[in-house]
A and B are shown apart, each in its own frame.
Chain A
Amino acid sequence: MKTAFKLDAHPRRPRPLLSEPPAGYFDKLPTQIMARLPQADARETALGWGWLSFLSPALRTGLASVAVLGGFAASFYMSGSAPLVPATAATASLDAVPRTELVGYLLTSGARVENSDLAVLTAAHPAITKGFLHASEEELNDALDAQPSDESTYL
């Protein structure tokens, strides 16, 4: 018959027979633990948002969702309310463009400029064509003679 094992009869040890931790382990452990602690600035940040830790996980998730949706709504609102540029600003900035460039643009861009438009312009500023139109008086007269009479009304 087996002898029943009784725990009270067994010599009591303060802990199980396990191998000791490496030599000097408890000397190094405090340093290792201190190195793992959150840094001061991180702690300050945590304190700033510390109130979040008092909320339940479900409430924190809800709060995060509201913040994200709010961000989207704000971005949509901001993108739709861009101020309109006053028309006068465009006119003012057009004045700064050299006249020759403007005429060059009108001649090459396919913009619809009638001969009458040019006639009005040259009537107001007789020397305007000197910068880009290098034709002799004879050539000009020949060109004018070739124009239909109704279109040379303003000349």
Chain B
Amino acid sequence: MEDHEILLKFQDPASRNLAFNQLVRKYQSKVYWHVRKMVVDHDDADDLTQDVFVKVWKHLSTFRQDAQLFTWIYRIATNECLNFLSSKRRKFLLPLTDVGAELAAKIEADPAIAGDEIELKLQKAILRLPDKQRLVFNLRYYDEMPYEQMAEVTGTSVGALKASYHHAVKKVEEYVTRTTDD
């Protein structure tokens, strides 16, 4: 079902639930993996994905349609992730690097990555980035999202996003190079 059909059906109370169910089915995987890349842990990603869609439900009637629906959902998901990570840091009074180390430990324990030394170092390098820079890196590197769309999701200018991604790539390359044996 196309986005405009979903939105049209959502306006009608009789078909609202059906439309929203379609919306969830259409975007759940993308939202889940966007969140999972940021929080690493499946259970956290599961909670946050559900929270994101509950918020989408609450605010979909106010969606102005001057942006793509998915960009809007991505923006909600991004804010949820950033709030989750910053509240986690506040709750346990952790500095930035400790949350990165915690996430890195989860990556290390993940059987999917076992044995792939370079991939593990790459992930550790990404997790050392500040949250917002990591978000920019994920959107550009993994999702290959155009900078213009990234600007809508993050509320940041295209120029700033390009600079942020450039610096992120440099940091990642330096970390992997430094920690790799000859």
Chain A positions near chain B (C-beta within 8 angstroms):
1-7, 10, 12-22, 25-26, 29-30, 32-34, 36-38
Residue A17 contacts which of B24, B45, B123, B176 (CB distance < 8 angstroms)?
B123
- Name the residue on A nearest B40 (C-beta): A18
Is A18 in contact with B110, judged by CB distance below 8 angstroms?
yes
With A4-B173, A17-B113, A19-B42 as given contacts, are A32 and B32 in contact (CB-CB < 8 Å)?
A: no
* Pairs A–B under 8 Å by Cβ, sample size 12: A2-B180, A5-B176, A7-B172, A15-B36, A16-B107, A18-B36, A18-B110, A18-B112, A20-B112, A26-B28, A26-B29, A29-B49
- Contact flag A19-B50 (CB < 8 Å), given A12-B141, A13-B142: no
Number of residues on chain B facing chain A (CB within 8 A): 42
The CA-CA distance from A32 to B123 in the complex, in Å, is: 31
8 Å CB contact of B24 from A1, A12, A33: A33
Q: A6-B173, A7-B141 are in contact. Are A15 and B33 (CB under 8 A)?
A: yes
0 or 1 for each of B25-45: is its CB under 8 Å from A? (1 = yes): 100110011001100101001
Q: Per DSSP, are chain B's interface residues mostly helix, strand or loop, or mixed? A: helix
Given A3-B182, A17-B116, A29-B177 contact (CB < 8 Å): no
**B118: Cβ under 8 A from any A Cβ:** yes
B125-166 Cβ-contact flags toward A at 8 Å (1 or 0)? 010000000000000011000000000000000000000000
- Kindly specify which of B2-10, B51-59, B75-83, B93-101 makes contact with the partner chain: B51-59
Number of A-B contacts (CB under 8 A): 91
Q: How far is the CA of A64 from the CA of B47 in the complex (A)?
A: 32
- Beyond A5-B173, A19-B112, 15 extra complex contacts between A and B, CB < 8 Å: A2-B180, A3-B180, A4-B173, A5-B118, A5-B177, A7-B141, A7-B173, A17-B113, A18-B110, A21-B46, A29-B24, A32-B50, A33-B24, A33-B28, A37-B54
- With an 8 A cutoff between CB atoms, is B84 at the interface? no
Q: Across the interface, do A30 and B123 meet the contact criterion of CB distance under 8 Å?
A: no
